[in-house]
Amino acid sequence: MEVWYGAEQVPASLSAPGGVGAVVTMGIFDGVHRGHQAVLGRVVELADELARGGERPLAVAVTFDPHPRSVHRPEVDLPLITSLTDRLASLNDLGLDAVLVITYTLDFAAQSPQDFVRTWLEGLLGARAVVVGDDVRFGCRNSGDAATLEEIGRADGFAVEIVSKIRSEEGRRWSSTWIRQCLKDGNMGQARQVLGRPHRLRGVVVRGLRRGRELGFPTANLEAATAGVVPPDGVYAGWLVRGGGADGGGQRLPAAISIGTNPTFDDVPRRTVEAHVLGRADLNLYGEEIGIELVERLRPMLAFDGLDPLLVQMRADIEDTARILEVPVPEPIRPEDVTAQ
């Protein structure tokens, strides 16, 4: 999948006379949840269908960075469900040919719905068809909707397809708001259902107090404030993901993950996300950007009366994590065997 960061990176041949053009959709796609996936999947299907009469158009998604709300209301804290890196990786997994990332500014937001469609979707991407959900909004003050898009399509001669009734079996609309509530409640199973995959945090590994390595549980530490939408304090089963990018991939390692300030000790001033990779004492991750996928919450954060009961519980957490992730239970790590720096 190609990623175009701005209009200047879009091949001119796409919209040139005789060019293949594109089937296009647009949105923030924060989370790339199952509602988004329905629309994006239809983009790819329609591009394949149009290829039967000639050369296949590209399946293209238009997305925006930063999030519009952070531009219009910078005083409001709105951590993204999915970082741009992971958003692009999820879009790649859905079979798109390209994604155009538009830098969202107040000047950009001032465009009328007609100017946006004709400049970006038609003029730049050569849209032969546009696929959107029935709740689509675009243009200045979100004044454009599905009916507006259909009107422009009729006037300009491109097809418009509205994907409607994108809901769960219980009849609830898949939405980023629903995901945020699941994460706030620590309901990782429900979040996974809406997303269609585990929720992922992302950040750079920083130096902690190095206490875990002294106990035989070396961890990779992220600052919780920079990791994304972080669920409640507690211990989680999940995966540490190394590498990967817009094209996905990466190495996934089973991990027990702690979120919070570690109340057994009084010297952790900020919330952190700490991931211990099961059975590994040799990982040097400082300075590396990693992903942390949260599969299931094991328990809340607890304060223990001394080191021995903490170590017993940590070992139980390792065993529970291995069971949930369906991986072998590792042997305990002796502190003297830890080689990670």
- Calpha distance 95→109 (Å, rounded): 29
Closest CA to 84 of 108, 59, 106, 61: 61
| Cα radius of gyration rounded to whole Å, the chain | 23
**Which residues are bridge partners to 102 per DSSP?**
64
CB–CB of 340/217 below 8 Å? no
CB–CB of 166/38 below 8 Å? yes
CATH superfamily of 2-163: HUPs (3.40.50.620)
Q: Is 122 a catalytic residue?
A: no
Closest CA to 228 of 50, 28, 90, 30: 30
Note the pLDDT of residue 246: 63
- Calpha distance 277→241 (Å, rounded): 10
- Calpha distance 221→97 (Å, rounded): 35
Note the pLDDT of residue 126: 97
Closest CA to 333 of 212, 177, 174: 212
Q: What percent of the chain has pLDDT over 70?
A: 93
Of 8, 45, 274, 319, catalytic: 274
pLDDT per residue as tens digits for the range 67-78: 999 999 999 888
Note the pLDDT of residue 169: 82
CB–CB of 166/181 below 8 Å? no
Q: Give the position of tokens 């993901």.
A: 241
Domain ranges of the chain: 2-163, 199-337
Please give the DSSP secondary-structure letter assigned to residue 229.
S
- Calpha distance 127→129 (Å, rounded): 5
- Calpha distance 80→83 (Å, rounded): 6
Q: Which residues of the chain have pLDDT under 70?
A: 53, 209-214, 225-227, 245-248, 263-269, 341
Closest CA to 108 of 117, 118, 116: 116
CATH for the 199-337 domain, from 3.40.50.2000, 3.20.80.10, 2.40.30.30, 3.40.50.300 = 2.40.30.30
Q: Give the position of tokens 């994460």.
A: 183
